[in-house]
Amino acid sequence: MYLPVVATYRQGERIARETLVFALSPDRVATLQPTRHYPIFDKAIARMRRTPRLVQSSYGVMYALVYALNEAAERVIHHASDLLEEMSDQIEEATLGYDRRGREIGVTDMQGTISRMNRAEEIVSSTQESQLSLARAARHLRSEIADTDPVLAGLVETLIADIDGVKEHASFEHDKVRYLQQAIMTSLDVKQNQIVKVFTIITAVFLPPTLITSFYGMNFTRMPELEWELGFPWIVLVTLVAAVIPLVYIKRRGWLR
């Protein structure tokens, strides 16, 4: 029986993802792996030393190897969860719209946080795929054991439950990442809409004075206001009133909130 699995594990600050293949028979198990010494399987070797009965059959060895891969995936999920916790303050600031100094947060300020969140989502998605392949391998192993070794069959049943538990944890973290991404993008969209609203209000306030000045910028031969002694103060007053009227209207409509 040939069982391909996807291994996801943490290597320092880097998350590695590789495909392994198990060849399982009743008397032996072989692995197709990237290197002769595969660090993940050190945990499997240690478990077999603690439980010598596992090395009495190829199924026990296979159980220990799959168990080690599941533990490696679980550590990856905890790493992704820690990344999200480290970004919690920045995410809260983005949601509120201001940093600790009271300065408004823009899109540029959140690029680093958004990039790290995308990385966390990629890690979680890779782990979900790994758990699907591990669950398949563990179920095939359980079917091969059948009733020949009830103790080992019970261990494999527990392993299947653990694999499903890690997969559910990964699904929870994936939903969390998506929610936080949506919260940040919504906050930034609201901020951009506020900026557009400010420019719209400024345009509305200065449009009537601009219209008045455009009239008096025309080269007409006869303009009575130019010969009037109070012409300039009068035009200034009319321009000021024309600017205040839209502002009062906008304020009464509640568009400044």
Claim to verify: residue 239 and residue 183 sit in the same structural domain: no
**Residue 204 within any structural domain of the chain:** no
Claim to verify: residue 104 and residue 220 sit in the same structural domain: no
**Residue 159 within any structural domain of the chain:** yes
Claim to verify: residue 75 and residue 126 sit in the same structural domain: yes
**Residue 208 within any structural domain of the chain:** no
Claim to verify: residue 177 and residue 223 sit in the same structural domain: no
What's residue 205's pLDDT? Answer: 82
Q: What is the pTM of this model?
A: 0.72
Claim to verify: residue 149 and residue 227 sit in the same structural domain: no
**Residue 257 within any structural domain of the chain:** no
**Residue 202 within any structural domain of the chain:** no
Claim to verify: residue 76 and residue 104 sit in the same structural domain: yes
Number of domains in the chain: 2
Task: Supply the CATH number for residue 176's domain.
Answer: 1.20.58
**Residue 203 within any structural domain of the chain:** no
**Residue 169 within any structural domain of the chain:** yes
**Residue 112 within any structural domain of the chain:** yes
Local confidence pLDDT in tens for the 257 residues of the chain: 899 999 999 888 788 899 999 999 989 999 999 988 998 999 999 999 999 999 999 999 999 999 999 999 999 998 888 888 877 766 776 666 666 666 666 666 667 777 878 888 888 888 988 999 999 999 999 999 988 889 999 999 999 999 999 999 999 888 888 887 787 777 777 777 877 888 888 888 888 888 877 877 777 777 777 777 777 788 888 888 888 888 887 778 777 66
What's residue 224's pLDDT? Answer: 75
Q: DSSP for the chain?
A: -EEEEEEEEEETTEEEEEEEEEEE-SS-EEEE-SSSS-TTHHHHHHHHHH-GGGGGSHHHHHHHHHHHHHHHHHHHHHHHHHHHHHTHHHHHHHHHTB-TTSPBP-TGGGHHHHHHHHHHHHHHHHHHHHHHHHHHHHHHHHHHHTTS-HHHHHHHHHHHHHHHHHHHHHHHHHHHHHHHHHHHHHHHHHHHHHHHHHHHHHHHHHHHHHHHHHHTTS--S--GGGG-TTHHHHHHHHHHHHHHHHHHHHHHTTTT-
Claim to verify: residue 220 and residue 107 sit in the same structural domain: no
> Which residue range forms the structural domain that includes residue 235?
216-252
Claim to verify: residue 233 and residue 180 sit in the same structural domain: no
